[in-house]
């Protein structure tokens, strides 16, 4: 779109979100879903563009180790760590991790022994129970963790279902705001201050997923 003054740079329609483009992940689908709920979401691998954004999104699919390697190769490791750490402390901008993007926020994963995660959230990601088929590739019901509904889950109704594709999961702990049942209780979403993360794919979860993204965009727009 061209501005009235002839400037061909994109016209902002909402809060500017930097979707970290490190060559892996559901990048385009995440970007389009965020745009659908009112964000000016842009794919970028430029740390300066990330620094200028109102919020940061870290998607991820596939293997933990490969995603970590790609973050380092593209020069986005420090950028992601700083943005996520500041969000968790409440001193930075809102940050959203999706699927493996959630897992990378932890210290490491049993999928890639010896490969360090961003370490913003405690604990190691572990393999789903041997009692269930792996990966979990299905719709599953979200169960709120605790008595107070987290803002991430606002407006989802009493029976929210979201779409999962994963074989590993983060530990259920103090930062867990939603779980699902898949053999065992599985961490489905986490939050600490301005840091939000979901194991499910909101961009593939129909109206429920779009509402989660809308809630995040609302957080960014405050």
Catalytic site includes residue 150: no
Peptide bond connecting 135 to the previous residue in cis, omega within 30 degrees of 0 = yes
- Catalytic annotation, pick one of 144, 190, 201, 214: 201
How crowded is residue 220: how many other Cβ atoms within 10 Å of its Cβ? 23
Select from 144, 169, 154 the least CA-distant residue to 215: 154
Q: Is 198 a catalytic residue?
A: no
111, 190, 203, 214: the active-site residue: 203
Is 135 within 8 Å of 129 (Cβ atoms)?
Answer: no
Task: From the candidates 99, 180, 187, 198, give the one annotated as an active-site residue.
Answer: 99
Residues in the chain: 222
Annotated catalytic sites, by residue? 99, 201, 203
């Amino acid at each position: 779109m061209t501005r009235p003054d002839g400037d061909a740079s994109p016209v902002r329609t909402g809060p500017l979100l930097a979707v970290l483009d490190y060559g892996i992940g559901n990048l385009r689908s995440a970007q389009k879903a965020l745009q659908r709920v009112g964000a000016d979401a842009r794919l970028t691998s430029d740390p300066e563009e990330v620094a200028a954004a109102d919020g940061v999104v870290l998607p991820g699919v596939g293997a933990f180790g490969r995603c970590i390697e790609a973050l380092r190769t593209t020069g986005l490791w420090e950028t992601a760590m700083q943005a996520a750490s500041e969000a968790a402390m409440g001193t930075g901008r809102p940050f959203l991790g999706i699927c493996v993007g959630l897992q990378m926020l932890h210290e490491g994963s049993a999928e890639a022994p010896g490969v360090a995660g961003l370490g913003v959230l405690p604990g190691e990601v572990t393999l789903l129970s041997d009692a269930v088929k792996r990966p979990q590739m299905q719709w599953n019901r979200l169960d709120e963790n605790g008595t107070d509904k987290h803002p991430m889950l606002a407006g989802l109704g009493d029976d929210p279902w979201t779409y999962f594709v994963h074989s590993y999961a983060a530990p259920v702990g103090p930062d867990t705001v939603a779980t699902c049942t898949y053999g065992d209780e599985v961490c489905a979403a986490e939050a600490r201050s301005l840091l939000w993360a979901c194991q499910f794919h909101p961009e593939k979860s129909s109206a429920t997923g779009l509402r989660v993204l809308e809630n995040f965009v609302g957080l960014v727009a405050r």
